[in-house]
C-alpha cells in the first residue's frame, strides 16, 4: 500500500476500469438516486451542505376529498421538469445538478437531457451558481461541469455526434470513487474546482 | 408628490394601512403564489435571478400504464414538504424562502409553519444561504428574515404567544410594495440587506 504524505492511500486511477466486473448499479441493487440521497443525508447530518432532490413534478387533474380522511389524488400525470433534480447550498454558494446513468459501454447518450434542462443550467451558470452533472457510466461515476456539457450539447446541435464518447468523458469529467459514507463525495470535487486556494 | 433626491417618490409608510379597502388577494383574484411566480418569471427573463417554486411533493401509490398513451397516476397523496417552497440563485448566492398569507387582521399565526421547515431554514442559514419568508398580512407584503422568524418561533416554543403581532411584524419585517412588473420585488430587499456596500 502506498501512502501520500497526508496519510491517504494512493488509489491507482486505472484500478476500477481494469477490473473485469465493474461496480455497476444493476448488480449492487442500488440506484444512483439512492446513493445520492444517502450522500445528501450524510452532508445534511454533518452540516457540510444542504442539498435536496426536488419532488417529481406532477400535473394533478382530479382530487377526491373523502370525509374524515386524507385527500386522494385520483388522476394525475407526470410532467417534464423544467429544471434539474438536485439543488441546495454549500458555503453560501448555490449548487445545482442533474444525475444520469447509462448502460452503454461505449458512450453517454445526450438524449438523457432535454433542451429545458440545458437552458436552466445555462441560466444557473450565468447567475454564478455551481452547476454540473453526475454521470454513472462505464462502471465509474463522473462529475462533469455544466460548461463542458454545453460543449458536447452544442456539437450535437451542429449535427455532430449525439453522445459523449467514453474517452471524451474520461478526459472532461472528474471521477468520483464510490465510498461508504458519503457514498458519492461530489463536494470534494466542488472543493477542488471552486474553493481551492489559487 | 414628494420626491427623494434620487428621484423616487416618497411613499408614506402608513398609506396602505390607512386605506379602508386594503389590497388583499381575495379581491384582486390573484394569489400570493401567482404574484411570486410572475415575479420569478420576470427575474428569469431579465437575467436577474433564477428562482423556481418546487413541485408539490406527492406520494405516488398506483400508476396505470395504458398502451399507446401516457402513464396515469391513479392513486397518490399529498406529502408534507420537508423544505421550503422556493429556492434558487442570485449573484451566486443561494436563495431560499417560503411564502405565507393570513386573513387575520391582528396577527400572523405561526402555525403556518411546521417544525421541519424551520429546521430546514436553520440549516440553510448555517450554510450561509439567504433565507426568509414572504408574508402577506394586513394588506401588506412583508419580507421577514429567517433569523427574525426563529426569534418568534422560539418564543412560541417557550410557551409564549403562537403568533406574530401586527406591530411586531411591522417592526421586524421589510415592506414590499406591490408593483406591476415585477409584482413583488423581493430582490430589492435582498440587495439592501445582503449586497449593499457597508
Domain assignment present for B183 = yes
Give this prediction's pTM: 0.84
* Count of all residues that appear for chain B in the document: 198
Query: Can you give the pLDDT at residue A21?
Result: 45
Question: Contact B77/A74, CB-based, under 8 Å?
Answer: no
- Give CA–CA dist A77/A60, Å, rounded: 7
Sheet holding B58-64, edge to edge: A58-64, A72-78, B72-78, B58-64
Query: Can you give the pLDDT at residue B67?
Result: 87
Q: Are A165 and A107 in contact (CB under 8 A)?
A: yes
* Assigned C-alpha cell, B165: 403581532
A66 close contact with B: CB closer than 8 A: no
Range of the domain at A50: 32-54+82-195
- Give CA–CA dist B150/A91, Å, rounded: 21
Domain assignment present for B5 = no
Domain assignment present for A23 = no
In the structure, what pLDDT confidence band is assigned to residue A8 with cuts at 50, 70 and 90? Answer: low
Lowest-pLDDT range, A39-43, A173-177, B15-19? Answer: B15-19
Query: Can you give the pLDDT at residue B13?
Result: 46
Smallest Cβ–Cβ distance between B49 and the set A78, A93, A127 belongs to A127
Tell me how close the Cα of B101 comes to any Cα of chain A, in angstroms.
22
Query: Can you give the pLDDT at residue A28?
Result: 59
Query: Can you give the pLDDT at residue B188?
Result: 96
Query: Can you give the pLDDT at residue A68?
Result: 85
Domain assignment present for A114 = yes
- Give CA–CA dist B75/A153, Å, rounded: 38
Among B40, B54, B55, the strongest candidate for a mutation testing the A interface, having the largest count of A CBs within 10 A, is B55
Question: Contact B73/A77, CB-based, under 8 Å?
Answer: yes
pLDDT at A121 over 90: yes
Tell me how close the Cα of A95 comes to any Cα of chain B, in angstroms.
8
State mean pLDDT over A89-118.
95
pLDDT at A19 over 50: no
Q: Are A54 and A87 in contact (CB under 8 A)?
A: yes
Question: Contact B76/A90, CB-based, under 8 Å?
Answer: no
Domain assignment present for B139 = yes
Domain assignment present for B25 = no
Q: What is the mean pLDDT of chain A?
A: 88
Residue B98 assigned as binding residue: yes
Q: What is the CATH classification number for the domain harbouring B179?
A: 3.40.1350.10
The 10 Å Cβ neighbour count of residue A34 is 13
Domain assignment present for A165 = yes
Residues of chain B with pLDDT under 50: 10, 12-22
Chain B residue with CA closest to A122: the answer is: B50
Lowest-pLDDT range, A23-37, A54-68, B63-77? Answer: A23-37
The distance of Cα B71 from the centroid of its chain, to the nearest Å, equals: 34
Domain assignment present for A75 = no
* Assigned C-alpha cell, B163: 403568533
Whether complex ipTM tops 0.90:
no
Neighboring chain B residues of A83 at a CB cutoff of 8 Å: 52
Tell me the pairing of strands B72-78 and B50-53. Answer: unpaired
Smallest Cβ–Cβ distance between A128 and the set B87, B91, B128 belongs to B91
**Number of folded domains in chain A?**
1
Question: Contact B47/A126, CB-based, under 8 Å?
Answer: yes
- Give CA–CA dist B108/B165, Å, rounded: 6
The single residue listed with the C-alpha cell 439592501 is B192
Smallest Cβ–Cβ distance between B50 and the set A47, A72, A124 belongs to A124
State mean pLDDT over A145-169.
96
Amino acid at each position: 500500500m502506498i501512502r501520500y504524505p497526508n496519510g491517504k492511500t494512493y488509489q491507482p486511477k486505472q484500478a476500477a476500469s481494469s477490473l473485469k466486473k465493474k461496480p455497476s448499479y444493476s448488480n449492487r441493487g442500488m440506484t444512483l438516486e439512492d446513493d445520492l440521497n444517502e450522500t445528501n443525508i450524510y452532508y445534511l447530518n454533518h452540516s457540510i451542505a444542504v442539498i435536496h432532490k426536488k419532488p417529481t413534478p406532477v400535473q394533478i387533474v382530479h382530487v377526491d376529498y373523502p370525509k374524515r380522511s386524507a385527500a386522494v389524488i385520483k388522476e394525475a400525470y407526470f410532467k417534464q421538469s423544467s429544471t434539474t433534480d438536485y439543488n441546495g447550498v454549500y458555503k453560501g454558494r448555490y449548487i445545482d445538478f442533474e444525475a444520469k446513468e447509462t448502460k452503454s459501454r461505449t458512450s453517454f447518450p445526450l438524449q438523457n437531457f432535454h433542451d429545458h434542462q440545458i437552458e436552466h443550467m445555462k441560466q444557473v451558470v450565468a447567475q454564478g451558481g455551481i452547476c454540473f452533472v453526475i454521470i454513472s457510466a462505464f462502471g465509474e461515476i463522473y462529475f462533469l461541469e455544466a460548461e463542458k456539457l454545453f460543449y458536447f450539447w452544442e456539437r450535437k446541435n451542429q449535427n455532430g455526434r449525439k453522445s459523449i464518447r467514453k474517452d471524451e468523458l474520461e478526459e472532461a469529467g472528474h471521477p468520483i470513487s464510490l465510498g461508504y459514507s458519503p457514498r458519492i463525495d461530489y463536494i470534494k470535487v466542488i472543493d477542488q474546482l471552486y474553493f481551492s486556494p489559487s
